[in-house]
């Protein structure tokens, strides 16, 4: 059976295996050569996670032969046909909607369309981009297109884009999260005719427990470590999950030391009104009562390895995959994600009422079968070069 590209579940999860598609979407840890910290800068350059072998994908035509004209196509990124609009483009375009701050191809586009929060996060280091911004739920027009951005619940500023064209309602979104997190407004399904969405955790093994339950587990882990005089090291996405942990643990009174890449994002979160108390930038050796948060790409960094005694925990939706946890050799793993699990994803898609759904990445084949069984017409929307493997 064919599978979709096994891109990292959790867009922007640098811990996950990466394909070209996920690299295009994930913001790498920024490296500032002027920073002078007690770190081995070479380590910053490498994600040691090997990519999984690519699997062949179904040809688009197989899924769509004889169907009506498409609203979306893959053309150097996801393109709204017969328009100037791309969505999360991974090559330079005149205008691309950028759904959220994990996308680092922003600067290559002439102009971007995004929420002001997304723009603030992605320009935190460079500061320059020509952006069209709009708050959530405010309608605007671009030629024949009427558009509106709505919360996607994934990371701060993340948005779904509702496009109305010829009385047809089209929604493009990247990862969504319909559960409330500590830092982002949750996603609600937008009634539409056509939906583009990734199948990121589109397998039944990805079943996430209630967040409050996981929060308690994480707090208990941290307390246990500190009682044992070990430094708790939490490994979490640089944008999104890290800030949720900072809020959770900071508000519980723990003192945090976070890697500068996480700290820099948190600084913008704070400026945008998110409370993240009790945290400082990681430097040197943490004190006995401090909790460390590092991004996945740096989980084996020298400054972590040289801690006298530590316990490392992965915090990610990937923690639902026992094999994944085993391969990454952590002391503990907590299933906390900023992306919908399998059930939430299916429910979300069905609740939009869309009669046609384009799956843009992830477990496309598996989710397609489940959606078709519910009467939904499903297309795959992936890079053409991946089709040549077939």
- What does the binding site for Zn ion look like in residue numbers (CB under 5 A)? 11-12, 102, 175
Q: How far is the CB of 224 from Zn ion (least distance, A)?
A: 31
| Residue with smaller CB distance to Zn ion, 96 or 303 | 96
Q: How far is the CB of 57 from Zn ion (least distance, A)?
A: 21
| Residue with smaller CB distance to Zn ion, 58 or 153 | 153
Q: Which of 174, 148, 226, 202 is nearest to 345 (CA)?
A: 202
Q: How far is the CB of 40 from Zn ion (least distance, A)?
A: 27
| Residue with smaller CB distance to Zn ion, 11 or 173 | 11
| Residue with smaller CB distance to Zn ion, 99 or 231 | 99
Distant-in-sequence, close-in-space partners of 214: CB < 8 Å, separation ≥ 6 = 208, 334, 335, 336
The residue number with the shortest CB distance to Zn ion is: 11
Q: How far is the CB of 275 from Zn ion (least distance, A)?
A: 22
| Residue with smaller CB distance to Zn ion, 25 or 247 | 25
Q: How far is the CB of 369 from Zn ion (least distance, A)?
A: 25
Q: How far is the CB of 201 from Zn ion (least distance, A)?
A: 12
| Residue with smaller CB distance to Zn ion, 10 or 290 | 10
| Residue with smaller CB distance to Zn ion, 175 or 344 | 175
Is beta strand 194-199 parallel, antiparallel or unpaired with respect to 231-235? unpaired
Q: How far is the CB of 100 from Zn ion (least distance, A)?
A: 5
Distant-in-sequence, close-in-space partners of 226: CB < 8 Å, separation ≥ 6 = 232, 288, 289, 291
């Amino acid at each position: 059976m064919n599978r979709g590209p096994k891109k990292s579940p959790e867009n922007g999860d640098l811990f996950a295996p990466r394909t070209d598609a996920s690299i295009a979407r994930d913001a790498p840890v920024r490296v500032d050569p002027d920073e002078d910290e007690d770190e081995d800068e070479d380590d910053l350059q490498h994600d040691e996670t090997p990519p999984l072998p690519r699997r062949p994908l179904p040809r688009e035509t197989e899924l769509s032969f004889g169907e009506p004209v498409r609203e979306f196509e893959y053309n150097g990124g996801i393109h709204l046909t017969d328009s100037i609009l791309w969505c999360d483009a991974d090559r330079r375009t005149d205008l691309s909607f950028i759904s959220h701050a994990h996308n680092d191809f922003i600067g290559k586009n002439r102009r971007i369309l995004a929420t002001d929060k997304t723009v603030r996060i992605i320009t935190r280091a460079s500061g320059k981009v020509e952006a069209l911004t709009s708050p959530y739920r405010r309608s605007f027009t671009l030629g024949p297109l009427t558009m509106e951005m709505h919360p996607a619940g994934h990371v701060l500023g993340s948005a779904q884009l509702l496009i109305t064209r010829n009385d047809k309602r089209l929604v493009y979104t990247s990862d969504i999260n319909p559960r409330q997190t500590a830092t982002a407004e949750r996603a609600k399904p937008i009634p539409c005719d056509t939906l583009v969405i990734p199948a990121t955790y589109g397998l039944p093994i990805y079943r996430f427990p209630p967040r409050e339950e996981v929060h308690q587990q994480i707090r208990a882990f941290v307390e246990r470590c500190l009682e044992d005089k070990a430094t708790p090291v939490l490994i979490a996405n640089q944008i999104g999950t890290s800030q949720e942990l900072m809020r959770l643990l900071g508000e519980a009174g723990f003192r945090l030391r976070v890697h500068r890449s996480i700290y820099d994002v948190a600084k913008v979160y704070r400026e945008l009104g998110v409370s993240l108390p009790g945290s400082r930038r990681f430097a040197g050796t943490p004190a006995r009562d401090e909790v460390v948060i590092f991004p996945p790409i740096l989980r084996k960094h020298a400054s972590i390895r040289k801690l006298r005694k530590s316990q490392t925990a992965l915090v990610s939706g990937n923690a639902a995959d026992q094999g994944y946890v085993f391969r990454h050799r952590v002391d503990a793993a907590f299933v906390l994600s900023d992306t919908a699990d399998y059930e939430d994803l299916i429910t979300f898609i069905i609740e939009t009422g869309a009669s046609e759904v384009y799956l843009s990445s992830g477990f496309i084949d598996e989710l397609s079968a489940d959606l078709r069984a519910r009467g939904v017409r499903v297309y795959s929307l992936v890079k053409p070069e991946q089709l040549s493997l077939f």
